[in-house]
Structure 1
Amino acid sequence: MRPALHFMVSAVRRMFVLGIVLLAGASALRALATLPLDQVRLPPGFRIDLVTDDVPGARAMAMSPSGTLFVGSLSEGKVYAVSDPLGGKPRVRVVANGLRAPAGVAFRDGSLYASSVSKIVRLDNIESRLDDPPAPVVVSDRFPTEAHHGWKFIAFGPDGYLYVPVGAPCNVCAPDENRYANIMKMKPDGSDLQVVARGVRNTVGFDWHPATRELWFTDNGRDRMGDDVPDDELNRATAAGQHFGYPYCHAGNVADPEYGSKRQCSEFVPPVARLGAHVAALGMRFYTGTQFPPAYRNSVFIAEHGSWDRSEPSGYRVVSVALDGSGKAVRQEVFAQGWLRGRKPWGRPADVLVAPDGSLLVSDDLAGAIYRIRYTP
């Protein structure tokens, strides 16, 4: 090839490559522009920013003491690690894949625990191996295989046990209460599996009160009873083995059409708060930070994923529930909303997590995003 021709070909090739890079950059900018965060409405003094939109199907979150954010997902069986999520230059890696709906994650003693429908697995020394993650080790495979309500939020409690919910394998039915529709716990090695709460249709979020250490959890109400019945619930477990009503009673005061005649609502623990029908209340956390105004201290933040079968959509927001000193809900407010445009959502909050600096992280499985809400008056 003659030198002049070679130079022209090389120049064209460089221009082509540069064009590819510029197009990729423009595509990334367009992708960010498709998340209209300016439509998210917050109380005065708060702002919301995008941490990353590179976590497809983002669900439950857990953060290590050194600041790595781990995110479960419903996308191709993947679990993600987000390095430096609060520093402005997050890096996202896949640390596990091929799992069955690994929605839940928990971190303890250097190991990442992830849920699967019928298993809990563990990835040891994970933060030293983010670029070359270890093969997951099965901690327990003793859970049901049904996918219906089989996605599991998991978390370690103050007692050192890993808490694992098992949803009802149906909309409404009466399964074995020691096997389904409950919350269980086990030691980190999978031993000593025991039932903590029964009559829980499908909880996808729980936390422990900062002062009392009592377990609190959301629960999704049944479908096919109309637009406005029954409510999703915020519950409080004051003792092990309590029953919260399913399938006989919903939201503390609604007898089930099929099973309600068999037991009375008065026999069960009523919810602390009724959250609205079909809002799909998922992840919840107590606010333990100091960045937000004092009125939010020890209040509950709940991610409402949003309805799928209501004639007028509900949910698609983050709400806060204020409690008094006795644990009674005294105020329920919409904290963040705007992910629903008309009848069409562009995002669906799935979990919330209080970051070490007191900001609130919100996962969004529809947009594949993690957001950060800060108080900046």
Structure 2
Amino acid sequence: MKMIPSVILWGLLPCAVMAQKQQDGLPAPYATKSVKNFSKVVGWEHGQQPVAPKGFTVSLYADGMDNPRWAYVTPNGDVLVAEANTIKNAFMQAGAVILGAAKAENLKKSANRISILRDTTGDGHPDIKEVFLEGLNQPFGMLIMNGYLYVANTDALLRFPYQPGQMKMESEGEKLLDLPAEKRNQHWTRNIITNADSSKIYIAVGSVDNLGDNGKEVNPRRACILEVDPDGKNERVYASGLRNPVGMAWAPGTKTLWAAVNERDELGDNLVPDYLTSVKDGGFYGWPYSYFGQHPDPRIEAPRPDLVKKAIVPDVPLGSHTASLGLAFYTKKAFPAKYQGGAFVAQHGSWNRSELAGYKVVFVPFKNGKPTGKPQDFLTGFETDKEGEVHGRPVGVTVLPDGSMLVTDDVNDKIWQITAAK
């Protein structure tokens, strides 16, 4: 008898899918075949670099890093860079070679450290690069507040006493909170951000894998954004159903949190769109039971129509399989007025699409804290003229105090700087 409601519901799903399809223009699942199409990273030759719009200059900010994933600007203007990589054992590395994924990734051992970049000459480029903190476990998010440096390892939130301007962390620090990091830990990054009064910390935690065992026994502390006090206590789920939220930022002039979310794969070329969305306290965004609102995922063996019914439609689609990760709102004045208050999103690039998608940084215009248009290409040139080849893969976006922008390129161990003409 317990099976009857599910059978009835699944019988009605095609009608529900078609109804919403007419509203948002998404194709049906498997409208095209799901394909594995890994790009081949060929690097940057001398003189090659990404391309920004007219009126901007692109330059190499830092080189010789070790999988620079995320960058954070300290109060005195130093740049901390989290250097970490997906951890693959010998079996997983062999699998990556067989599937073709190895050519799209950097398979080096994870550096598990944070480096510091400092500009002592005032020319806008760092002349000092040193190891700031090591012995970590896939560090990603960083945050300085209340006299502490917070670091989000894949499996824990850590806190270290911090003095402005220090060049190396000598303290052992303390673990405030364990974070979920199962043996299968596909989405390992843990980003962190605080609110305006530094009373809370928000932690972005991705799902275990693509579908979380088809919806069975979903870990409530994954595919979500957690909220905790600065001491790691009073944890609660701020928002859920977010397959892999990575970039987080507050829309300028508002109290609204936004996130860049990397959506699911293997439903065809044009499903499911990654997205940029406002994050509502207590909101549910679909994963794994539905996508982009109330589209039920046909692969789920344990459907939850009660959750699908309340799934929130994201604000801005960013293209399917683009691996949209980094997010930064532009709050400075150096860029032209059209960019001020808008959002930049770094797209690491696809592996599950017949034609490559992503591999660029896009700009989403905002006004009064709300998006006003579709994503626009901003930093391109990561794809080569040869089909299937890319120079690099952007991950993080960070705005410097002088108004220039940094973009990390993890597979090439580089950080690019984009500066507006004066």
Q: Please give the range of the TM-score, normalised by the shorter of the 2 chains.
A: 0.7 to 0.9
Q: Which of residues 336, 340, 351 in structure 2 aligns to 1:308?
A: 351
Aligned twin of 1:256: 297
Aligned twin of 2:6: none
> Is 2:171 aligned against 1:137?
no
Name the amino acid aligned to 2:207.
A
| Bigger mean CA offset, 120-129 vs 157-166 | 120-129
Aligned twin of 1:27: none
Answer yes or no: is the 8 Å Cα contact 1:117–1:145 preserved in 2.
no
| Bigger mean CA offset, 290-299 vs 123-132 | 123-132
Identical-pair percentage: 31
Aligned twin of 1:167: 206
What secondary structure does 1:331 align onto? Answer: coil
Q: How does 1:75-86 map to 2 (within 5 A)?
A: 75-84=110-119
Aligned twin of 2:400: 355
Name the amino acid aligned to 2:242.
V
Higher RCO structure, 1 or 2 (CA under 8 Å, sep 6+): 2
Name the amino acid aligned to 2:281.
A
Q: 1:352 to 1:142 in 2, by over 3 A?
A: closer
Q: Which of residues 42, 50, 60 in structure 1 aligns to 2:52?
A: 42
> Is 2:161 aligned against 1:124?
yes
Answer yes or no: is the 8 Å Cα contact 2:324–2:347 preserved in 1.
yes
Aligned twin of 1:204: 246
Name the amino acid aligned to 1:310.
R
Give TM-score scaled by structure 2 length. Answer: 0.76
Q: 1:133 to 1:371 in 2, by over 3 A?
A: farther
What secondary structure does 2:370 align onto? Answer: coil
What secondary structure does 1:295 align onto? Answer: helix
Aligned twin of 2:103: none
Q: Which of residues 105, 108, 117 in structure 1 aligns to 2:142?
A: 105
What secondary structure does 2:374 align onto? Answer: strand
Answer yes or no: is the 8 Å Cα contact 1:221–1:251 preserved in 2.
no
Aligned twin of 1:181: 223
How far apart are residue 234 of structure 1 and its match?
A: 0.7
| Bigger mean CA offset, 287-296 vs 245-254 | 245-254
Q: Which of residues 286, 308, 325 in structure 2 aligns to 1:282?
A: 325
> Is 2:286 aligned against 1:241?
no
Aligned twin of 1:150: 188
Answer yes or no: is the 8 Å Cα contact 1:282–1:304 preserved in 2.
yes
Structure 1, residues 21-63: CA drift from partner, whole Å, max 9, x if none? xxxxxxxxxxxx9455644221110111111113211112211
Q: 1:303 to 1:35 in 2, by over 3 A?
A: farther
Answer yes or no: is the 8 Å Cα contact 1:96–1:136 preserved in 2.
no
How far apart are residue 128 of structure 1 and its match?
A: 5.2
What secondary structure does 2:131 align onto? Answer: strand
Q: 1:189 to 1:106 in 2, by over 3 A?
A: same
Answer yes or no: is the 8 Å Cα contact 2:154–2:189 preserved in 1.
yes
Aligned twin of 2:233: 191
Answer yes or no: is the 8 Å Cα contact 2:154–2:179 preserved in 1.
no
User: RMSD in angstroms over aligned alpha carbons?
Assistant: 2.3
Q: 1:149 to 1:79 in 2, by over 3 A?
A: same
Name the amino acid aligned to 1:309.
N
What secondary structure does 2:338 align onto? Answer: helix
> Is 2:142 aligned against 1:93?
no
Q: Which of residues 335, 342, 350 in structure 2 aligns to 1:299?
A: 342
How far apart are residue 365 of structure 1 and its match?
A: 0.8
Counterpart Cα distance in 2 of 1:366 and 1:262? 39
Answer yes or no: is the 8 Å Cα contact 1:323–1:331 preserved in 2.
no
Counterpart Cα distance in 1 of 2:367 and 2:165? 43
Answer yes or no: is the 8 Å Cα contact 1:207–1:216 preserved in 2.
yes
Q: Which of residues 368, 392, 406 in structure 2 aligns to 1:325?
A: 368
How far apart are residue 87 of structure 1 and its match?
A: 3.1
> Is 2:288 aligned against 1:270?
no
Name the amino acid aligned to 1:357.
D
How far apart are residue 153 of structure 1 and its match?
A: 1.5
What secondary structure does 1:366 align onto? Answer: helix
Counterpart Cα distance in 2 of 1:142 and 1:312? 36
Name the amino acid aligned to 2:117.
V
What secondary structure does 2:375 align onto? Answer: strand
How far apart are residue 196 of structure 1 and its match?
A: 0.6
| Bigger mean CA offset, 294-303 vs 316-325 | 316-325
Give TM-score scaled by structure 1 length. Answer: 0.85
What secondary structure does 2:416 align onto? Answer: strand
Counterpart Cα distance in 2 of 1:169 and 1:132? 31
- Return 5+ residue gaps in structure 2 as ranges: 1-42, 85-109
What secondary structure does 2:203 align onto? Answer: strand
Q: Which of residues 335, 339, 349 in structure 1 aligns to 2:378?
A: 335
How far apart are residue 281 of structure 1 and its match?
A: 0.4
Structure 1, residues 150-203: CA drift from partner, whole Å, max 9, x if none? 221112222421211221112102344632211002122111211110101111
What secondary structure does 2:412 align onto? Answer: coil
Computing the radius of gyration over CA atoms, which structure comes out larger, 1 or 2? 1
Answer yes or no: is the 8 Å Cα contact 2:133–2:169 preserved in 1.
no
Aligned length: 344
Q: 1:369 to 1:111 in 2, by over 3 A?
A: farther
Structure 1 runs of 4+ aligned residues shifted over 4 Å read 33-39, 126-129
How far apart are residue 126 of structure 1 and its match?
A: 5.2
What secondary structure does 1:200 align onto? Answer: coil
